[in-house]
Amino acid sequence: MNKDGSGVINEILPRKNHISRKVPRIKGAGTRGERLEQIIASNVDNLIIVSSCRSPKFNNRLIDRLIVCAESSHINPIIVLNKTDLDPHLHYEEFVKLYSSIGYKIIATSTVTKRGIDELKNSLSRKVNLIWGQSGVGKSSLLNEIFPSLNLKIGMISDSTSKGKHTTVTSLLLKFGNDTSVIDTPGIREIDPYGIREEDLGHYFKEFVPFINECKFNTCTHDHEPGCAVIKAVEEKLISAERYQSYLNLRATIEDDMNF
C-alpha cells in the first residue's frame, strides 16, 4: 500500500469457490430476460444460515434454498436456529431433528439464555464464514455476543409485518486474529440460487442421493414420473415431505426461468 492509502493490484489469484444468487426481480420492471448473477462472497469455508424460531417466523423454505446455494458451491452449510427463548414449547426441535438426521450441523441459539453461543463460536473458529439469513433473525446480535468489540447495530421487528428491518446495509468482512473471518451480510427476503440446472437439483438435496439411481428413468425429475424412487421414499417417509416440497418449489422456479 502506498503512503497515500492507495494500492496496486499485482495479481488476481484463482478462487476456490464462490456463492451467489440470481439478481432479485424489481417490481414493475418486467420479467423477461436472463436473470443475472449476484456474487455474495468468494473463498468461503462455512455458510452460516441463520433463522429464528419466531419474530420473524421460522422459514424452512428459505433455509432449504440457502442449503442448495451452499451444496452447489461446495461450501459447508451450518444452520443456526436463533431465538429459542421465544419458543417455550420447543416446536423448533422438530426441525433440529430433521436437519440433523440429514447430516447437517444445526445449532440452537439464544442471546438471552446464551444457549449455543460457545458452540457457534467454536464453529466459526479458523474458518471463513458467510453469515446469511432474513432480516431480524438476530445475525448481528449473535456476532455481538460472540465478539463483544464489534458493537454492530441491532434492528427491530416491524409491528405491522412481523418481518425484520434492514440494519446491515452492505456486506462486511470482519477478521478476528489471524485465522477467523466473518462476512456479515444484509438480510434477505427471498433467494433464487444461480446456475442450478434442473437435472442437477436433486443432487443438492443430499438425502435424495441414495435413491436417485434407483429411479426407473435416468432423466427422472422426481416430480411425476412412474417408478420414481425419490417419490416412493417420500411416501414411505424416508425423505421428509417438507424437504420434498422445498425441492418442488425450487424446481418450479428453475422451470420459470427456462421459459423466459
Mean pLDDT by 10 residues, the chain (260 residues): 79 92 68 75 97 94 97 97 96 97 98 97 97 93 90 54 48 88 88 92 97 95 96 98 97 72
> What CATH number does the domain containing 46 carry?
3.40.50.300
Q: Which residue has the cell 418442488?
A: 248
| 41 lies in the same domain as 170 | yes
Q: What is the pLDDT of residue 110?
A: 97
Asked, for residue 148, whether it belongs to a domain, the answer is yes
Name the domain boundary from 159, 184, 209.
Answer: 184
| 171 lies in the same domain as 213 | no
Residues 245/205, Cβ–Cβ less than 8 Å: no
| 65 lies in the same domain as 179 | yes
Q: How many CB atoms lie within 10 A of CB 240?
A: 20
| 154 lies in the same domain as 222 | no
Give me 70's grid cell.
451452499
Name the domain boundary from 154, 184, 214.
Answer: 184
Q: What is the pLDDT of residue 26?
A: 61
| 164 lies in the same domain as 250 | no
Q: What is the pLDDT of residue 189?
A: 80
Please give the residue range of the domain that contains residue 238. 201-258
Asked, for residue 189, whether it belongs to a domain, the answer is no
- Single pTM value for the model: 0.87
Distance CA 158, CA 169 (A): 17
> What CATH number does the domain containing 238 carry?
1.10.40.50
Asked, for residue 125, whether it belongs to a domain, the answer is yes
| 120 lies in the same domain as 218 | no
Distance CA 63, CA 77 (A): 10
| 63 lies in the same domain as 161 | yes
| 210 lies in the same domain as 178 | no
**H/E element, 65:** helix 60-72
Distance CA 230, CA 160 (A): 41
Name the domain boundary from 184, 214, 240.
Answer: 184
Asked, for residue 10, whether it belongs to a domain, the answer is no
Bridge-based pairing of strands 46-52 and 18-22 is: unpaired
| 111 lies in the same domain as 229 | no
Asked, for residue 162, whether it belongs to a domain, the answer is yes
| 38 lies in the same domain as 134 | yes
| 114 lies in the same domain as 27 | yes
Q: What is the pLDDT of residue 254?
A: 87
Asked, for residue 3, whether it belongs to a domain, the answer is no
Number of domains in the chain: 2
| 223 lies in the same domain as 150 | no
**H/E element, 62:** helix 60-72
Asked, for residue 237, whether it belongs to a domain, the answer is yes
Asked, for residue 192, whether it belongs to a domain, the answer is no
